[in-house]
Chain A
Amino acid sequence: MAYSNKVLDHYNNPRNVGSFDKTDPTVGTGMVGAPECGDVMKLQVKVNPATGVIEDAKFKTFGCGSAIASSSLATEWLRGKTVDQALDIKNTDIVNELSLPPVKIHCSVLAEDAIKAAISDYKKKSAAQA
């Protein structure tokens, strides 16, 4: 399979790899996928509670190059967005940006799911605090 240059770039230089403290109330964590399916993505956002802006995002992914690239790209896009704007990121945007072939579309779907899961986790936490 031939990879697009953007996929290769994210694979070779993944952005924002790492983890935040899951228990931090300003952190939202999304973990999607399953090892037996060959993909697991963990995506985390760190939100400024005053502004609702995502100040930082990090990921770790077990999966193919396209899954790694999709989650790496997602962290780039998340930074600077508000939590509500983040929910507007669609898997098709990722497909287009990375020129993913049809067999790799599920990687972008997983990234969108990871974003949604991370934001929902953050919202749940901040609601519990309030």
Chain B
Amino acid sequence: MIKLPIYMDNHATTPLDPRVFEAMRPYFTEVFGNAASRNHSFGWQAEEAVEKARKQIAELIGATAKEIVFTSGATESNNLALKGVAEMYAEKGNHLITAATEHKAILDTCKRLEKEGARVTYLPVQTNGLVDLDQLRAAITDKTILISIMYANNEIGVVQHIREIGKIAKERGVLVHTDGTQAVGKIPVDVTKDNIDLMSISAHKMYGPKGVGALYVRRRNPRVQLTAQMDGGGHERGMRSGTLNVTGIVGLGEACALAKAEMAEESKRLSYLRDKMKDRLLASLDEVYINGTMESRLPNNLNISFAFVEGESLLMGINDIAVSSGSACTSATLEPSYVLKALGAGDDLAHSSIRFGLGRFNTEEEADYVTAKVIEVVKKLRELSPLYEMHKEGIDLTKVQWTAH
């Protein structure tokens, strides 16, 4: 028997892998030392655990251990990268480049920097979700200090061409930050091959614990410097003060080690499940649109709009399945997904979108159940939909005079 409810919202967060939990367990009670305590074994043990984790993370992303700065999560890492660079390199320039589909932790940080006098270019994306590299080239000025483009998008799973972006930046002597939250641990990421100078990492998106993350900060070619955004004891080479979350860090390290060992197989399994779901949904329902390119995409992501069906009502019908929607009704702001809008999908399709985020613990049986259930509920809601009725009558909905409210 299938166990309900089914969790398929792994872009929001992932369950802690039991193996990660086992690695963390001793660090809650037995090994409780402060990693900054230099004069007793309690501190040394904690420090040893932290250094092991640092190495595990570095190995996953092709970095060296010294380039890993621990933080409370990717939001903090994004804040530290952008604000830290803006402040440190203020004499060199005040221009940053990012993209319209970035996470709010980037966009809102940029808005803050703008208030403080920085200039920010928000690149649009193409309908496939990718940044146009020519537009990026054109946006760089001699005042540009940082390009921040996410590795993979949290809604549509589209993987940006970071390696190319990094190459362009390098040619112009501009630093590159990437929000690696969704990508690290899911697809191969190599900070050197990919020409990345700074990268944000989150533990809880890769079967690690919440409340811990890291910022990769390049030490060579070039040596990146940051102005600390938190004052205190000067931990993490002065870049991020605060007693280290040793237990969480151990969890992040273990999560990275598991990801490195299992990524190839896991990504094959998840993309098989994802494609099976996609193919069946497309075969069983008309007027279904995939948001974002399938050519450059996370293996576990599927973002689909079911035209003429509103997202929240669809979620209500599949209430034993945890997924999310770009519908305004499901967001706090009452605005439909800005990411889907940036693709030019149109607000109506944004309202009709569902994001499936497959994860390590989803089974094929679950994927099949979810697919069947979604098909059933979409059909039911279309019976209820005046838009579907009009569409079937051959009415062009874009030509209808609506009474907007």
CB contact under 8 A between A33 and B313, given known A40-B386, A60-B385, A62-B387 = no
**Bound complex: CA of A61 vs CA of B30, how far in Å?**
59
Contacts of B388 in A (CB 8 A): 62
- CB B250 to nearest CB in A, in angstroms, measures 36
Contacts of A109 in B (CB 8 A): 405
0/1 string, B293-330, CB within 8 A of A gives 1: 00000000000000011101100110000000001111
Contacts of A31 in B (CB 8 A): 386, 403
Say whether A48 faces chain B, with CB atoms less than 8 Å apart. no
Total A-B residue pairs with C-beta atoms closer than 8 Å?
88
The answer to whether A62 and B312 have CB atoms under 8 Å apart is no
CB contact under 8 A between A63 and B405, given known A11-B316, A14-B384, A38-B329 = no
Among the interface residues B312, B386, B397, which one has the most CB atoms of the partner chain A within 10 A? B386
Contacts of B389 in A (CB 8 A): 19, 42, 60
The answer to whether A3 and B403 have CB atoms under 8 Å apart is no
Say whether A47 faces chain B, with CB atoms less than 8 Å apart. no
Say whether A39 faces chain B, with CB atoms less than 8 Å apart. yes
Among the interface residues A32, A34, A113, which one has the most CB atoms of the partner chain B within 10 A? A34
Contacts of B309 in A (CB 8 A): 62
Contacts of A65 in B (CB 8 A): 312-313, 316
- CB B351 to nearest CB in A, in angstroms, measures 4
**Bound complex: CA of A35 vs CA of B351, how far in Å?**
8
The answer to whether A62 and B405 have CB atoms under 8 Å apart is no
Closest A residue to B336 using CB positions: A38
The answer to whether A64 and B404 have CB atoms under 8 Å apart is no
The answer to whether B316 and A60 have CB atoms under 8 Å apart is no
Say whether A110 faces chain B, with CB atoms less than 8 Å apart. yes
Q: Is the interface of B mostly helix, strand, loop or mixed?
A: helix
**Bound complex: CA of A64 vs CA of B402, how far in Å?**
18
- CB A10 to nearest CB in B, in angstroms, measures 11
Q: Which of under 10, 10 to 19, 20 to 34, or 35 or more describes the interface residues of B?
A: 20 to 34
Say whether B348 faces chain A, with CB atoms less than 8 Å apart. yes
Say whether B346 faces chain A, with CB atoms less than 8 Å apart. yes
CB contact under 8 A between A103 and B403, given known A3-B316, A35-B348, A65-B313 = no
Contacts of A34 in B (CB 8 A): 402-405
The answer to whether B386 and A62 have CB atoms under 8 Å apart is yes
The residue from B329, B347, B385 contacting A36, defined by CB atoms under 8 A apart:
B347
The residue from A32, A38, A61, A64 contacting B403, defined by CB atoms under 8 A apart:
A32
The answer to whether B310 and A62 have CB atoms under 8 Å apart is yes
0/1 string, A1-19, CB within 8 A of B gives 1: 1010000100100100101
- CB A33 to nearest CB in B, in angstroms, measures 6
Among the interface residues A60, A62, A63, which one has the most CB atoms of the partner chain B within 10 A? A62
Contacts of A35 in B (CB 8 A): 347-348, 351, 387, 397, 402
Say whether B283 faces chain A, with CB atoms less than 8 Å apart. no
The residue from A62, A103, A113 contacting B334, defined by CB atoms under 8 A apart:
A103
Q: Which of under 10, 10 to 19, 20 to 34, or 35 or more describes the interface residues of A?
A: 20 to 34
The answer to whether B308 and A62 have CB atoms under 8 Å apart is yes
CB contact under 8 A between A38 and B310, given known A19-B389, A61-B384, A68-B384 = yes
Which residues A53-109 have CB closer than 8 A to chain B? 60-65, 67-68, 103, 106, 109
Say whether A41 faces chain B, with CB atoms less than 8 Å apart. yes
Contacts of B346 in A (CB 8 A): 36
- CB A104 to nearest CB in B, in angstroms, measures 8
CB contact under 8 A between A60 and B386, given known A38-B329, A110-B405 = yes
- CB B400 to nearest CB in A, in angstroms, measures 9
The answer to whether A11 and B313 have CB atoms under 8 Å apart is yes
Contacts of B330 in A (CB 8 A): 1
**Bound complex: CA of A39 vs CA of B383, how far in Å?**
15
Contacts of A14 in B (CB 8 A): 384
The residue from B336, B347, B385, B404 contacting A62, defined by CB atoms under 8 A apart:
B385
For the A-B complex with A41-B386, A62-B308, A63-B313 known, give 18 more contacts whose Cβ atoms are closer than 8 Å.
A3-B316, A17-B384, A31-B386, A33-B403, A38-B310, A39-B310, A40-B386, A40-B387, A62-B309, A62-B385, A64-B310, A64-B327, A64-B329, A65-B312, A67-B313, A68-B384, A106-B405, A113-B403
Q: Which 7 A-B pairs have the closest CB atoms?
A: A34-B402, A36-B347, A35-B348, A42-B386, A60-B386, A64-B312, A38-B351
Give B contacts to A, CB under 8 Å: 308-310, 312-313, 316-317, 327-330, 334, 336, 346-348, 351, 383-389, 397, 402-405
In the assembled complex, 26 residue pairs joining A and B whose CB atoms fall closer than 8 Å, in A order, are A14-B384, A33-B405, A34-B403, A35-B387, A36-B347, A36-B402, A37-B405, A38-B329, A38-B347, A38-B351, A40-B387, A42-B386, A42-B389, A60-B384, A62-B308, A62-B384, A62-B386, A64-B310, A64-B313, A64-B329, A67-B310, A103-B334, A106-B405, A109-B405, A110-B405, A113-B403
